[in-house]
Structure 1
Amino acid sequence: MNKDQIGGNWKQFKGSVKEQWGKLTDDDFTVVEGKRDQLVGKIQGRYGYQKDQAEKEVSDWEKRNDYHW
């Protein structure tokens, strides 16, 4: 999968991410742009989660949505 495919895939799933983590802002999504580690960090910051909890939530979301980074 090339960078353009990953970017398109991210745009497709961004709505689902917004539903799951509604506290994330459009600016957060601009920073994340399909980067898993950035998403985990933003979830930590917005929700006050420990890294392990944010990682687990992202992993669970990936499984439910069959999303591959």
Structure 2
Amino acid sequence: MNWARIEGNWKQLKGQAKEQWGKLTDDQLDVIAGKRDQLAGKIQESYGITKDEAEKQLDTWQKSRKFD
């Protein structure tokens, strides 16, 4: 699924993001609103990882998304 579809369907997909990155709060996910760069930044900040690692996690998560 491309990121534009993730962003467009964020209300449905943010629960899956919460499952993947449980340290992120519902409020953070609401503010992020599907914006990839903001999500990467919050993952990096919350988990104390590098930007590259956050991007790798996002790539993996994005590739595994299925939307019926």
Q: Same fold (TM over 0.5)?
A: yes
Greater relative contact order (CA < 8 Å, ≥ 6 in sequence): 2
Post-superposition Cα deviations, 1:37-67, rounded to whole Å, max 9, x if no partner, equal 0000000000001000000000100001147
For residues 2-39 of structure 1, what are the alpha-carbon distances to aligned partners after superposition, in whole Å with 9 as ceiling and x for unaligned?
A: 9xx81xx1111111101000000112112200100000
* Count of matched residue positions in the alignment of Structure 1 and Structure 2: 62
1:22 paired residue number: 22
State the one-letter code of the partner of 1:57: Q
Alpha-carbon distance in structure 1 between the residues aligned to 2:12 and 2:25 = 17
Q: Which amino acid aligns with 1:50?
A: T
Measured in 2, the distance between the counterparts of 1:21 and 1:56 equals 13
Task: State the alpha-carbon separation in 2 of the partners of residues 13 and 27 from structure 1.
Answer: 14
The TM-score with structure 1 as length reference comes to 0.81
Identity rate, percent:
58
Counterpart of 1:47?
47
After superposition, the CA RMSD in angstroms is 1.9
5+ residue gaps in structure 2?
none
